[in-house]
Amino acid sequence: MKWTPKAVEIAREAGARLREFFAQGVVTEYKGDVDLVTVADWTVEKLIRTRLGEVFPEHGMYGEEGTRERMEQEFRWYIDPLDGTTNFAHGFPVFCVSLGLEFRGELIAGVVYDPTRDELFAAAKGSGTFLNGERVQVSKVSNLAETLTGTGFPSHKRHKNPNIYFYHVITLRTHGVRRAGSAALDLANVACGRLDAFWEFNLNPWDTAAGVVLVEEAGGKVSCYDGSEWRLDSKETLASNGLVHQSMIDVMAQIFEGRDLPQLPSPVEYR
């Protein structure tokens, strides 16, 4: 697909800028009560907006840091210049650039670049998913008890987030839940088989657009928590290798109904 190589170039350039900012350290500001933002988020979104505008002057753009251009166009880019800002601001090296492309309401390409590991994930509809040029696939684990899963906790209304119950139960039913702090990288990690499943409430289109294409093109599945069709504006994202998808849906239904919630063991019992 002709758009992907350009997006790869732009993501690499953006990632190199993030790497420089990360090395020098940046001042952190607050967007809301707890939502962090840095000069790196703004500078890199501006860079991506300029570059995409140069190569695809007809395309629309929707970015986390305020870019809204030509949104009536059939082609639209969803831009997260820095996914993992909290990690970045704390010096924790897990973050990425995420660029997803939609055409007439369908996601058709995704690029996620992790500048600290120099890992570039790219996928185009119908052509598979690639990590640094090598084809990747989702994992083959089919038993939920043997999975490694991932999730995230948005900063928005964090004291009201129901996800801690999901985190609790799914931790006890699997090899574990990783909370790495970058939803786009979590999805990329499902695509290449490092994680078997991932879920999160209230993600935004710039977090998911690219990663969803990566997962689907690597043979995985994405839906809402009840298995219904996932859309860019869905408030629930469940991604998996496909084989454990139904088991995840079943566990989530139980948690929503409040069934089988384990009692908290006492620290004394745990010794």
Of positions 15, 100, 110, 181, contacts ligand IPD by CB under 6 A: 181
Stretch that binds ligand IPD, among 7-15, 75-83, 226-234, 253-261 (CB under 6 A): 75-83
Which does residue 102 bind out of Ca ion, ligand IPD, none, counting CB within 5 to 8 angstroms by kind?
A: none
Backbone angles phi, psi at 85, to 5 degrees: -60, -40
Count of residues in contact with ligand IPD, rule CB under 6 A? 16
Tokens for 145?
């008890």
Stretch that binds Ca ion, among 58-66, 109-117, 123-131, 259-267 (CB under 5 A): 58-66
- Residues of span 138-157 touching ligand IPD by CB under 6 A: 152-154
Return all residues near 162 (Cβ < 8 A) that are at least 6 apart. 201
Which does residue 181 bind out of ligand IPD, Ca ion, none, counting CB within 5 to 8 angstroms by kind?
A: ligand IPD
- Residues of span 35-74 touching ligand IPD by CB under 6 A: 64
Which residue is closest to ligand IPD by CB? 152
Which does residue 189 bind out of Ca ion, ligand IPD, none, counting CB within 5 to 8 angstroms by kind?
A: none
Q: Which is nearer to ligand IPD, 144 or 180 (CB)?
A: 180
- Residues of span 200-239 touching Ca ion by CB under 5 A: 207
Of positions 47, 170, 183, 215, contacts ligand IPD by CB under 6 A: 183
* DSSP-assigned letters across all residues of the chain: -THHHHHHHHHHHHHHHHHHHHHH---EEESSSS-EEEHHHHHHHHHHHHHHHHH-TT-EEEETTS-EE-TTSSEEEEEEEEE-HHHHHHT----EEEEEEEETTEEEEEEEEETTTTEEEEEETTS-EEETTEEE-------GGG-EEEE---STTGGG-THHHHHHHHHHHSSEEE--S-HHHHHHHHHTTS-SEEEEES--HHHHHHHHHHHHHTT-EEE-TTSPBP-TT-SEEEEE-STTHHHHHHHHHHHHHTTTPPPPPPHHHH-
Query: Is 207 one of the binding residues for ligand IPD (CB under 6 A)?
Result: yes
**Min separation Cβ 85 and ligand IPD, Å:** 4
Of positions 15, 60, 63, 84, contacts ligand IPD by CB under 6 A: 84
**Min separation Cβ 252 and Ca ion, Å:** 22
Query: Is 83 one of the binding residues for ligand IPD (CB under 6 A)?
Result: yes
**Min separation Cβ 266 and ligand IPD, Å:** 31
Instruction: Indicate the residue type of 37.
Output: V
Backbone angles phi, psi at 58, to 5 degrees: -85, -15
Site residues for ligand IPD per CB under 6 A? 64, 80, 82-86, 152-154, 181-183, 200, 203, 207
